[in-house]
Structure 1
Amino acid sequence: MTDPSDAQLHDHAPHDAMDASTSLDEDNRLLPGFVSQVCDALDEGDDEAVYDLVEPLHPADIADLFELVEREYRGPLARAITDLLGADVLTELNDYVRDDVIDALPAAQVAELAGQLETDDAVAIIEEMEEADQRAVLAELEPADRAAIVDALSFPEESAGRLMQRDLVAVPEHMNVGQLIDYLREHADLTTEFWEIFIVDPQHRPVGTCQLSWILRTPRHIALADVMKRDQTLIPTDMDQEEVALRFQKYALISAAVIDGAGRLVGQITVDDIIHIVQEEAGEDILRMSGAGDGDINEPIRQSYSSRVRWLIANLGTALVASSIIALFGGAIEQLVALAVLMPIVASVGGNAGTQTMAVAVRALAMNQLTQSNTRRIIARELRIAVLNGATVAVLTGAGTALVFADAMLGGVIALAILVNIIIAGMAGVIVPVTLDRLEQDPAVASSVFVTMITDSMGFLAFLGLAVASGLASF
C-alpha cells in the first residue's frame, strides 16, 4: 500500500489570492458563504458547479467541508466531487463523518481508496463497516492488500497489531553497508518512507536497527552488525495502543518493531501514528471523566444521548445519598436557616478539591506515573496538599461567615467542616481512581461519580453534624 506524503496531508499551503478570498478566511477556515454555495449547488443537483467550487481546495479543507455541511449533504457531496475525494481527504476526516462518506460510495471506490492507504489507515476505514460491506470492499482489493487488512483485523481493537504498518525495510545481518545501499536502490517496490532499517536473523526476528543517518555516513565495506544498534524496544502485537504510546514517550522512539508471539518481525509503528493515539487517549479520558461519551460534535444524537444519560442517572442515584443525609438534619435546618445557606459552599468547595485531585490521579495512572511502587507516597503527598488547601479555605470561609452572620460559633463550624471535607475529598480523589485501576476498571469512567458522592455526602454530614454537636441546632 502507499500513503500520501505528509506534506500533502498536513501542509496547509496557502491558496492563490482568489481562492483564499472566496473560500477561506484569514484563519484558513472555510467561509460560511462558501459552504452555503456548495449546499445550494447540491440542492439544485448541479454536480458540475459543486466540483468547480471544491476543486481549488486543499485536501484538508475538503475534509473540513464534509464536517461543516449537514449530514444529508455528505453523500451527494462525495458523489459529486468524484476524483477529488482521495485517500488524503479520507485520512483527514472525523471518524463519524468518514462513516457517512464511505456509506455513500460504491465498494469498488472504497477499495481503490483503501489501496492507496497504509494498512493501519485502511483498517481504520474498513473495521467500522457492516460485515456485508466489509466483504464487498475486501473482494475489490488487490490480493496483497486484502491479506494485510484481513490479518490486521484479526488483532484486538486498539492493539499494536491494528496500529502497525506492514511496509518496512528489513535485511539480514550478514550484509554490509554497501550491499544495503545497493539493495535499497535496486528494489523499487520497497516502502519510500522510513527512518530506520531493521536487521533480522534467519528466523526473521529483529536483532537490531540502523538509522538512515548512520548508513549515509558509514563506508560501504563496514558490516551492518558493526554499526547497528542492538538495544531496541520491541512491541508485541497484542499490546494496547495506550501502552505503546507510553513506550514511545518514555524511550523517545521514532519507530519501533512489532513482533508476533514467536518474536518474528511483522510490522512497525511510527511516531506519527503515536501522536494521533496520544491525542485520542487524552481527550477520551477527559470526556470519560465528565460522562460525555465520545464527546464528538459529529456523533449521532442517539449515541450521545445514550452515553450521557446513563451517567446522569447514576449521578441521580448518588445524589440521593447526599439528600438522605440532609433529610436526617431537617429539624436542625429549620431551626437555623443559615445552615441551608451555607451547605452549598461546603459541598462545592469539597467537590472542586476532589475533582482537582482526581484529575491528577487519573492522568498519573494513564501515564504510568502512579503505580503500586509509589501509591503510598502519592497518597501522603495529596494528604499534605489537602490539609494546606483545607486550612487556607477554612480560615477564609470561617472568618467571612462569622462576620456576615455575627456568629463566631457558626464560623468555626463551617471552617472545620470545610477542612474535613477537603481532606476527605483529597483522599477520595486519589484512592477511588487507584482502587478502580487495581480492580481493572477504567478510572476515568467511574471515578467522578464516586468522588462526587463522597464529597457531597461527607460535606453535608460534617457540617450539619458539627452544627448539632456544637449546640447551634438540634434534630
Structure 2
Amino acid sequence: MSERGDVAEPLVHGDDFEDPVIEAAEASHDEDDRLKPEYLTAVLDAVEDGDSEKARELVSPLHPADIADLLELAPSDRRADIAAALGDLVGAEVLSELNDYVRDDLIGALAPEQVAEFASELDTDDAVAIIEDLEEADQQAVLEAMEPEDRAAIESALAYPEESAGRLMQRDLVAVPEHMTVGQVIDYLRDSGDLTRDFWEIFVVDEGHRPIGTCQLSWILTCPRGVPMSDLMKREQTLIPVDMDQEEVALRFQKYALISAAVVDGSGRLVGMITVDDIVHIISQEAGEDILRLSGAGEGDINEPVLDSYRARVRWLLTNLLTALVASTIIGIFEGTIQQMVALATLMPIVAGVGGNAGSQTMAVTVRALATNQITGSNARRTILREIRVAVLNGVTVAIVLGIGVSLVFQNMALGGVIAAAMVTNIITAGLAGASVPLAFDRMNLDPAVASSIFVTMITDSMGFFAFLGLATAAGLTS
C-alpha cells in the first residue's frame, strides 16, 4: 500500500513485466497464430535426439489446441514418438482437439486403460468423440476399463444416432426444483463438490425432471437470496430433442442466439445440455462438409488415408465421365457444321464455361439456403423465379459484351448474334438448373450438396453446345 493507505502500488511496472507464456507464444507462433516451421523442427530434432526433457520444455507453454496442431503438422510416422516424449502433456484435452484421423492413430498405440482414463477426464460429448470411431472390439475394451458410472454415460450416448443431439450433449449440468430460493441455490452450488466445471445457466425442473425454465448465473448473483427460482427464471426456452440432427441444433443456436440449451428425451425429461462451444465446431464442420460435397471430394481431410480419398473421389469422377459423354454426343451431332466453320470450335468452350460458372453460382446460393433453412416449401417457387430473373439480367449483359466482341474479331455479325443468343439461353438454363437440381435432391430427401454440381455441369455444358451449334446450323453459318 502507499503511505496514504488508499491506493495500492502496482505489483510490476510495464517494461519490467515478462510473461513466459506470451514469450513462448511469440517464439512458437507466427503473426497468423500458426506454429512456426523452425519451432516444429526444433521439437522434432529434440525427440529424434532422445532429449525428451528439451522437447517437453519447448512444448509445455502451449495450449492443448496448439499441442494438437503440433502433432497434426508432424509427419505421420513421427507422431507416436512425439507423444511418447511429451508424456502427460498429451492428455485428454489434447486428444479432444486432435483431427479424427490423427487421434485414431495415436489412440491405436495406447492401451485400453489409458484411453479409458483420458475419456473419464472429459465431458461426455468429448469422450464420445474419442471412443465412437474405435473398432468395436477396441471400443468394448475401453468401456470395460472405465468406471461403471462413466461407462453407463458413454454407452447411453453411443445408443443415439451419429451426428444427433444425443451424441453431442453433455450430461453434467445443474438442475434445481422451482421451489428453491436464490440463496438455497447459491448454497447448493458452493457445497456440491461434483458439479460440472463449466456452465452459464441453471435449468429449473418440475417433479418429473422436465425443464420448465432457465436462469442465468448473473441473475442469481445479483438477486436477493429470498427470491424464489420460480419468480426469477425465464420460462420461455428452446428445448432440443435428443434425436435432432446436429446441423439443425446449430441452426437453432444461431437463430435464437443461445449459449446453452436443454436436451430432452421423448417424454420431455431433461437428459443433457449442449453448449455454444460445441456448436461453433459443428457449424465449421458442416460448412466444410457442404463445400467438399459440392466438389465430390469426400471428407477432404489432408490426414485421410490415400485409399479412402481415392474411393471417395473416383466414383464422382466416373459419374462425371458419363455425363461428359452426353455433351460430347451433342458435339458429334453437329460435326458437319463445325467442319464448315472452324471458329465454332474455338467459341464453344466459352458458351459452356460461362454457363457452368453461372450454374455454380446459383447452385451454391441454393445449397446454402437449404442448409440454413432459408428455403422451404412456401418459398421454393419464388426462389427459382428470382434466380431466373438474375440469370436473365446476367445473360443479357454477358451476351451483349460477347456478341459485340465476336462480331468485331471475326468480322461476322451473324456469328456474333448466334453466340449472344446461345449465351442468353445457356445462362438462363444454368440459373434454372442451379436452383432446381438442389431443390429436387432435397425433395427426395437426398443431400443437395453431394451430387448437384455434376448434374448442373452436365445440363449447362449440353445446353451450351446444343444452343450454340444448333443456332449456328439454323442460321446457315459457313466459313
Name which of structure 1's ranges 56-65 and 192-201 shifts more when overlaid on structure 2. 56-65
Q: What per-residue deviation string (whole Å, max 9, x for no partner) do you get for residues 16-52 of structure 1?
A: 5874576444444333233233334444555445434
Cα offsets for 1:40-87 (capped at 9, x unmatched) = 444455544543443343323221210111111111222221111112
Which residue in 2 is equivalent to 1:206? 211
Q: Deviations over 1:400-430 (max 9, x none)?
A: 0000000000000000000000000000000
1:60 aligns with 2:65: yes
Deviates most, 427-436 or 141-150: 141-150
Give distance in 2, aligned partners of 1:59 and 1:80: 16
Q: Is the 8 A contact 1:362 1:444 kept in 2?
A: yes
Instruction: Find out whether 1:144 has 2:139 as its counterpart.
Output: no
Secondary structure in 2 matching 1:261:
coil
Residue by residue over 1:344-392, the C-alpha shift from the partner in whole angstroms, topping out at 9 and shown as x without a partner, is: 0000010000000000000000000011110111111111100000000
TM-score w.r.t. the length of structure 2 is 0.93
What is aligned with 1:300?
Answer: 305
Displacement, 1:440? 0.3
Alignment of 1:259-298 (within 5 A): 259-298=264-303
CA distance in 1, matches of 2:77, 2:237: 49
Aligned residue identity for 2:137: A
Correspondences of 1:173-212 after superposition (within 5 Å): 173-212=178-217
Matched ranges for 1:43-442 at <5 A: 43-442=48-447
The DSSP-based 3-state class of the residue aligned with 2:262 is strand
Cα deviation per residue 1:196-221 (whole Å; 9 max; x = unaligned)? 11111111111111111221222222
Give the equivalent residue in structure 2 for 1:39.
44
Single out whichever of 17-26 and 376-385 deviates more from structure 2: 17-26
Secondary structure, counterpart of 1:91 in structure 2 = helix
Structure 2 equivalent of residue 9 of structure 1: none
Gaps of 5+ in 2: 1-17
Equivalents in 1 of 2:239, 2:35: separation in Å?
A: 43
Q: In angstroms, what is the RMSD of aligned CA positions?
A: 1.8
Distance in 2, matches of 1:78 and 1:451, equals 47
Q: How many residues align?
A: 462
- Residue 113 of structure 1, CA deviation: 1.2
Q: 2-side partners of 1:17 and 1:265: how far apart?
A: 42
Task: State the alpha-carbon separation in 1 of the partners of residues 101 and 265 from structure 2.
Answer: 32
Q: Verify the 8 A CA contact 2:96 2:129 in the aligned structure 1.
A: no
Distance 1:439 1:410, change over 3 A: same
Unaligned runs of 5+ in 1: 1-12
Partner of 2:474: 469
C-alpha separation in 2, matches of 1:427 and 1:221? 63
Identify which range, 372-381 or 173-182, moves more after superposition: 173-182
Distance 2:245 2:436 in 1: 25
- The amino acid that maps onto 1:147 is A
- In structure 2, distance between residues paired with 1:349 and 1:14: 56
State the Cα distance separating 1:137 from its structure 2 match.
Answer: 1.4
**CA-to-partner distance for each residue in 1:128-149, whole Å, 9 max, x for gaps?**
1111211221122222111111
**Mean Cα deviation higher: 14-23 or 356-365:** 14-23
Deviations 1:163-213 (A, max 9, x none): 001011111112122221221122121113111111111111111111112
Pair 1:218–1:48, CA change in 2 (3 A)? closer
